[in-house]
Structure 1
Amino acid sequence: MKSEQGHSDQVVGVEKSQAGRILVVDDDQRLAESLRELLILRHYAVDLVFGGQAAISRLRSSTYDIVLLDLAMPDVDGHQVLQFIQESKVNALVIVVSGESAVDHVSRALRRGAHDYIKKPYVADELMTTVSNAIRKKRLEDSHDEMQRRMKKSERLHRFLVNNSPDIIFILDQDGRFSFINSKVESVLGYRRSDLLGEHITHIVDTEDQEKARYFFERTHSASSSERTINMALNSQSGNASETRKRHFELTMSKIDVGDVLEAEAGNRYEIYGTARDISDQIEAEEFINFQAYHDILTRLPNRSLFKDRLSVAITHAQRSQEKLAVMFIDLDRFKVINDSLGHTMGDRLLQSVSQRLLSCVRKGDTLSRFGGDEFTLLLPNIKNESTALQVAEKMLESIKTPFEIAGHEIYIGASIGIAVYPDAGEDIEALIKNADIAMYRIKSSGKNGSILFNAEMNGSVTRRHSLEQDLRKALQNNELEICYQPLVDTLNTNLYGVEALIRWNHPRYGRLSPAEFIPIAEDSRLIVEIDRQTMREACLHVGALHQKGHPELSLSINLSPVMVERDDFVQHIFDTLQATAFPPSKLQLEITEGLLLNDRRDIVDKLLQLTNSGINLAIDDFGTGFSSLSYLHKFPINTLKIDRSFVQKLHSESEEACIVSAIVSMAQGLKMNIVAEGVEHMFQFNYLRSLGCNIVQGYLFGEATTLSDVMVRYPYSQRLTGSVTSAD
């Protein structure tokens, strides 16, 4: 066997480097496998298929140098395979190896493109020689094809460089008429080359630059061969030849001797060689840079700089004409919540939509600008009185009252508008803007979504706000904030179910402050993150101590800001706090804002899932206000819905709020969620909520937020509601 193998190798003479890929197609499995073994000994890579249909499938997905093909096969015969190879332009040489020796079979196979024909039973050395020669031919053909491809590619590249120069290339005769122009003129200006030959260069020059073009040509023609450059506007044609559009070009011309190249006659050797480079984009870019310097790119509105320039001009005019003008400072309410929960892309789209609605409310001569972030300013020159400004502000508030439909989300937003009128509220740029800003903060701190005129008394409130922010930083550093607890009562047995931790601040100068005053400051300054962290740590320690004293079932509920949830370390911080305080996760309920439900981002969902998987409960606070988020409930691992106090306070059997509360309770029950009703102040509210199946209630009926020890005195855990709550209401 070894000697035969060595002999075959010597006869065939196939070097290992010459080996190729071969597909053997034969329905005789034994014969095909023996042929494969023979080919493998010659270092060929061999695949087998046992039928014509299998061969076609393989050739569709794989490439081969040689196909050894039997003709007589039961399903799809070799002639059909040859037809497929020919029609599909398969790049492989076919050697027919078949017992069919009739002349018509052989000629038919060769007509179909077969490279060679070997009759069965074949002689191994003869077959190997045929295969080796076919491989060599295939290599030569592939090399030739590759060379042809490279040559064609080189030719295409050459033609591309010649015919697709970035510039229009032209030659003018001594009279300034086109004697040559490249094809770039067709794609750039829309003229046919043949139509321009013989035409004067001014034929394509814009009317305003005609004289400039004639002068430039004459200067170039009368001078030596030095190069000259000028910017000029050329007319481009659209589909309609009568319609033209101006584009800007940089023209370069020089006088050249074309006698040797074009075989020009004596005395006619000099022509003007020129190029025209389209610089329209460059000019547009320069215009865009200028636009960018004075406009906000996102909303396309004037920016702060342009607004101040126009305000300066308006003040000068108002001084001379003894007129009034108004400056409005517009801040969007709850934009930060939307931006944090839905993401910055949605926030940007909302800003664009808001700016368009605001624009629809102003006059042609007014200036609406994006001052920064979610802040806008409006200049109203030449107004009769303050009521004009108030009317415009009311129109703006009404325009953004309608919800915004963005990417499938229905978003509600409001605005706080401060108004400063010249000259009463200021006589210069900075004073008017500052006082409009002060008025805006006054309306924001008093409930948001409204407008107000500046008056001198407001300066004190701004000073107070700035002072409170500084004091709040110190209070955090010195642990001056207090935690109070409001009882959560089980409606089934009226026992204490748990407590909600609420932050309180007894300011050294202003006394006990309402959270409504300092929490917005904390959110704007991002101090809310540290407040949330301190509150959670201390509350876990306080309630955890009660667990050790015989109240292990007491639950703890804590509010979290969207800013906290958005942080990358949010989940890890929660886990670290629970571990440090040894607080059981199953007794912790974290309350998040309803706005986060609209955040369809996977990372937020993953964070909340990590919490619930550890046993922590999640609640939606103030459910039913501001957002239409019911369709998002199933995406989030929520355990509890908290009905906002605004519904409970207006609750009676026939009220619209009663229908809303009933619907929320029914929905929560269907989703197997707990229900907590906030703001319960009267016994009839408690009874009605209990009749609906509301699980837990909280509110002044059960006591204000106080120390944890006071809560436990009032509710020693097993005490029933009877006797401790009057039913006078």
Structure 2
Amino acid sequence: MNGADLTRRTSETFAPPLEGGAGARVDGSGKGPVVDDARILLVDDKPELLESLYQLITLHGYHAEKALGGQAALDALARDHHDVVLLDLIMPGVSGYDVLDFVAREKIDTKIIVVSGDASFSGVKHALHCGAFDFVKKPYDAAELVATMETALREVWLENRNQDMEAQLRASEELHRFIVNSSPDLVYMLDRNGCFTFLNDRLGPMLGFEKSELVSRHFSELVDPEYLDLATNVFNERRMGSRAARNVEIKLRSSLKRPGSRFSDVQSIWVELTAQGVYTDPRERNRQTFVGTFGTIRDISERKEAQEVINFQAYHDLLTHLPNRALLKDRLELAITQGSRNKARLAVMFLDLDRFKVVNDNLGHSMGDRLLKAVANRLQSCLRRSDTLSRFGGDEFTLLLPEIRTRDDVVVIAGKILDRLNSPFVIDGHELFVGASIGIAMYPEGGTSAEALIQNADIAMYHIKSRGKNGYQFFAEEMNNRFSTRLILERDLRNGLSRNEFEVFYQPQVCLRTGRITGVEALVRWRHPERGMVAPGEFLPLAEETGLIIQLDEYVQRRAFADVAAWDRAGVGKVRVSVNVSAAQLEKEGFIEQFVEALESAGLNATRVKVEITENTLMQDMEVIIPKLKTLRDLGVSVAIDDFGTGYSSLSYLRQFPVNTLKIDRSFVCDIREEEGEGEASIINAIVAMSQGLKLDLIAEGVENRTQLNYLRQHGCSEVQGSIFSEPLPAAQMCDMLRADPFAEIVVSEARSEQSSGVAAAS
């Protein structure tokens, strides 16, 4: 073959890297990929032959290295990796056979093509026996030699690719094994018969079994018998596609003991099980065959226990574990339904412990709690299996007695309860005596609804308590009068204070010159759990009669001081807060110390506070009250007379009082009517003049419309509060209003409108 032929041949066979994939290119024959950037070692002892071979190989785009003689070949092989070696056999010194032996001995990964003039059968056989990949006889055909070399390179590429795939497969298997065994869930596989073929390492920690105990065993040996039908349906399901997976909650058997668990059957645990069928040939639906199931198992026993606790707490008293009022009401409504259907009677007992407060106040709440639990145990011992004992709250219990034939049956149970409770309770060496006042309402004569029966039993209980306690009383319709309602309200008021049912709302006080909010009045609100919001006029008089007003005042003051301090931290502007102080609180020993402590606890300066007292309060015990008010004034607290004009104070007394502000009562503000002129508001005019003469600030409350607002501004009233600006608001909404300060524009525009009207009238 001449040079022109060689050039033409090589230009036809050379091809750049194509679709062989990464690290590969298509060989000159087009038969497949070869190693890209392959390293070829050329070995011959004849320089001219070595150079000719070099030219041939490099013309085909391959990188070649020349080794002149066997020793140079050994050095090159020891130094670098070569994909293919073109080796002459007959060389002085280190022969080609020596090179073959070296490659075999050192386990060098390369393909050796012998290019030799010794083409005898024995020579070829010997070379191949020594590890040669192929044999090309000298003189060689260039195309044959290149084709043989590229065949070797394809072998190298395939071997490399196989090694890479095996490495990737091993890595993938290791990764999947790591993921499966590191999963917090138990991973499993079943064969088509439902026997376990695989379980990951979570089996032991979750269920306490060894893998050898379950592999090849049927799933039914692991499933709690109660849930076996459900598990069988899940594992035998033949759904495919997006609906193939199933999630169910079942119980599995466990060999682990779980100390402290609330579950009675410690030999099983709650799990969430997922299951998905495995099928052959998933690409062809008509040829799919079910071969088994795989999925995960997650321990949800803690979640189930938490749900059980939450459900228990929702319907039971946390101290005694008795049903609470919600569960009692549910059972009572069911008993009423059954009683109506069967023409049966039932009874509700409302029981209040006598002398319990003495124990609680003198021995502490811990002792009181232990006594309540002991009482609950005794009460339970007096009841039938069908009866329900409920703790209604505090020291009150409610009993539901269904299927009562006569009142005598109830009398027997009530007498038994009283006898049991009259025996002393011995707790930590203390001998404690309590009795009980029991009110009884019978269905249907004592009420036909759950609410009516409980309320009427409560009324009957208060009747027996008012007659000396420690007895029982059946409800009669004549008891349901105003006195009974008052007793219930008093009871609810006391409970409301202990249960934090009261809230503090705030009504803004607005400057009529600037429209800015200068202060707020703290007003108590009662969010009754059953009646909703109770009007202050309904419970405040009773609170004053019973002395509970002191506790109520102290609560409002502490809450108000804390809220104002919180507003300061929120950066909504500093306003003063007005709090009401009753005569009972003012007269109480230690009032000043308690008031100052509440301020310090909230971190609020005394100058930010105004106390409001009524005229009649001032007149009750001036020798006690006036010095305390002066002490408050000295601390920086402002003093206002609330509802001014409705009491009996005189100007001479007014000069003695340490007062900063007068508040015009809403009843006088209501007298301001546009159509009736100023005659009806003459008292307001007098109060305004009086405040100006005594240099006192003036606030009008109960302002509801523009007529009242304009009249008060015209006659010198500096501040107002009322629904024209805002009803009393909860603390969070009041904070938002202070931040917005929304009344300036309203007041200013109203003043301008008034001025314009005056100018027009004058002209």
TM-score by length of 1: 0.40
TM-score by length of 2: 0.38
Higher relative contact order (CA 8 A, sep 6+): 1
Structure 1 or 2, whichever has the larger Rg, is: 2
